[in-house]
Amino acid sequence: MTDPHHDLATGHIRIFELIARGAPLSETLEAITRLIESLAEGVLASILLLDEDGVHLRHGAAPSLPEAYVRAIDGTAIGPSVGSCGTAAYLREPAVASKIESDPRWVNFRELALQHGLQACWSTPIISSVDNRVLGTFACYYREPREPGLWEHTLMETADRLARLAIDRARAERAERQATALRHLAHLANATAHEINNPLTTVIGRLEMVAERLDAGSDERELIDKARAAVDRIRDIVARMHHITRIEYLIEPGRDLPPILDIRRSSEE
């Protein structure tokens, strides 16, 4: 007979290895749910991810839940009485429905859950250790009414901790990729600004030469003045484009991106 605590420790190591080698988040989350399912009889584990909008829950992993049910709840908006997961994410605290059939938080989802044979659902929010943001939820479903015991609480805490590590790692890697892409874009934009500025300087010089030969107030001088004003606007755009794409100006990965040059607004101004 195997020791469940030993199996849990072994599973911990396996999940840590997945996170350490940068396995796809979907693969790691599924491994977490399968680990919990292997250690608790009758449990159907699920992980939902909170969308970037901070409102909608998206499918993360649910290897044993009915596919139709998974599709139906994908994209559900969180709220104070939105099943167990929507409530847990909204209130930032566990939401245990030991009997879905009579739980008031399941009023709008009761028929859907019972239709798929789901009668209990315990959910806990996954909260980032980096910025205290809700990342998603981990849930245990059962096909009969059921209260969580000490072992189930241990498993949920374990799943919560592992999922938090995996999601935080994935977020950090995504931020790093975005920062790298931004730096490449900055190099390109900076080079473009330089290439535009060189011929622009020549155009300005030629316009000034022509303006000196025209009478002030003449139609031709007015056209040249308008052209010079347009060129000055272009030069201002190029100057600001050069400024905001300086590499030393760009911030560190994981923080907010610098402001983007709004060429349309600049032209209007």
Residue 145, pLDDT score: 97
| Contact between residue 228 and residue 207 where contact means Cβ atoms under 8 Å apart | yes
241 vs 31: which has the higher pLDDT: 31
Q: What's the mean per-residue pLDDT of the chain?
A: 85
Residue 205, pLDDT score: 78
Residue 76 has pLDDT above 90, yes or no: yes
If one counts every other C-beta atom within 10 angstroms of the C-beta of residue 10, the result is 13
Show me where the domains of the chain are located. 4-174, 176-268
Residue 194, pLDDT score: 67
Q: What is the mean pLDDT of residues 114-143?
A: 96
Q: Please state, in angstroms and as integers, the Cα–Cα distance from residue 73 to each residue in 27, 48, 195, 253, following that order.
A: 20, 10, 52, 33
Q: What is the mean pLDDT of residues 64-82?
A: 96
Beta carbons within 8 Å of 266's beta carbon, 6+ residues apart: 233, 236, 237, 240
In tens, the pLDDT along 185-224 reads 767 767 776 677 777 777 777 878 887 788 777 888 888 8
Residue 65, pLDDT score: 97
Residue 23, pLDDT score: 92
53 vs 232: which has the higher pLDDT: 53
- CATH 3.30.450.40 for domain 4-174, yes or no, is yes
Whole-number percent of the chain with pLDDT over 70: 83
Residue 266 has pLDDT above 60, yes or no: no
Q: What is this structure's pTM?
A: 0.69
